[in-house]
Amino acid sequence: MMAIRHISYLLAIALVTVLSACNSGGSTNVAEGGIGGTGITTSGQITAFGSIWVNGIEFETDSASIFVEGTEEFGDDQDHLDECMVVTVVGTVNADGVSGTADVVRFADEMEGTVDANNVAASNTLTVMSQTVTVTASTCFEDDSGASIASLADIPVNAVVEVSGFSDGQGNIVATRVEVKAGAWTGEELELKGVVDNLNTGAETFEIGALIIDYSSADLSELGATPLTNGLYVEVESESAIVGGVMDADEVELEDEDGEWGHDGDDGEEYELEGVINTIINSEQIEVNGQLVDISDSPEYENGDLSDLSAGVLVTVEGEFDAFGALVASEIEFH
């Protein structure tokens, strides 16, 4: 999908260049910015409460609307949020750059599903619905199952877990938080987000990572007019057991409203993004959590430098969106 988006980005630049040449007497208005006292969108894990802390900024949430999994609104009630959840905050940041006010806080997990294998002790990984979940020393763990599971390494096969973290959309997730919802699956709804791959319209199947999705009996109405295609970012839901690496989907719906992975930012919009580098596209572009990041404007590097950029590295990117939908990085911090 990123190859398609990268080509579209280059075509957009070329088109604007041509139009600019044809209208040299005109002018281009760029949104004035800086995060001090202005609107911002920031995506990252919650590191502390009181208000909530995300990407080093303390956001007041007294008047915020809090959404969990897109459709549930809880007013300003923080009880539905926990440390290490990856959230997106829309609000304003004060001139000090470290405090602000949240208008909207959104949380959506990467998956809720059954554990196939637990290799935490040997390789710091869980296999959940055929996806590889990597845990680290900073991954938060909570047992909400009543099964007295003491640690990540003790999660049994067939337990139901909710995973928040940073995904590459193709079957690999670096977990910031793992919560055990049930000690064993008993029919709970299973959910997975990811990028459609190996679509077979004849067999009515596609893949997310190593999991085969059979959508022959699924409700596709939430796709609207958008056709199911490779590269589409979706969520699949099922209440059936996964057998032989195949999920019989009950519903397939678009994620991020339009099925495009990554934040759909406006020209000049300030954005901070914590996430894992998915790929190095070329010397001027990288992908972080599905977001195209332009690094050609000599961003400031913290705790590292340009040579440290590689797939799998956790970073926080600060910058503004350009007219073509790329996040132009002004600062990149390594974690």
Q: pLDDT tens across 191-224, in order?
A: 999 999 999 999 999 999 999 999 999 999 999 9
Beta strands in 10-109 (DSSP E): 38-49, 52-54, 57-60, 65-68, 72-73, 86-93, 99-107
Q: pLDDT tens across 320-335, in order?
A: 999 999 999 999 999 9
Spatial distance between the Cα atoms of 174 and 168, rounded to a whole number of angstroms: 9
Domains located in the chain, CATH noted = 38-107 (2.40.50), 270-334 (2.40.50.320)
Spatial distance between the Cα atoms of 258 and 328, rounded to a whole number of angstroms: 22
pLDDT band at 170 (very low <50, low <70, confident <90, very high): confident
- What is the average pLDDT across 238-262? 90
Spatial distance between the Cα atoms of 217 and 211, rounded to a whole number of angstroms: 17
Distances (CA, A) of 240 to 13, 250, 272: 46, 8, 38
Which has the closest alpha carbon to 139: 127, 122, 153, 159? Answer: 153
DSSP-derived 3-state class of residue 34: coil
pTM here is: 0.85
211-214/205-208 β-pairing? antiparallel
